[in-house]
Copies of this chain bind each other. A is one copy, B any other.
């Protein structure tokens, strides 16, 4: 993934650390693809009826990871927006990962997906810890009055 590394080499959303953002973005796209592959593989399993929740969470998690990766690749100065989105992504990964973990002993694709979800949730957590605190801030920033600098 040399091209990906190069694409991710500069921080887009200070004061979040360059490495944290790049790692999170990379984990998001890896998780998106693992979720889509898992959902597709679930359709072929004999116990498909017990995998319906897994399929739905896979698809939802893939959508949220994809959007998060895209947004993190831009300079966005609204810390509260970033916080909510990355929280949603971490939650989607935690929920989907917990479901996949239930099936990990029987299905390799669920094991792989649970691991991708765990890694993505962890990296989202790192970004969240580096984002400025936004508690008590309730309105969108007025033009030119960004919270990130």
Contacts and interface: CB of A to CB of B under 8 A. Distances in A.
Contacts of A130: none
A130 to B, nearest CB: 18
Interface residues of A, number: 70
Copies held by the complex: 4
Contact of A119 (B3, B32, B73, B85): B3
B143 A3 contact: no
Interface of A: 1, 3-4, 6-8, 10, 12, 25-27, 29-34, 36-40, 43-44, 48-49, 52-53, 55-57, 59-60, 62-64, 66-67, 69-71, 73-78, 80-81, 84-85, 87-88, 91-92, 94-95, 98-99, 102, 112-113, 115-116, 119, 139-143
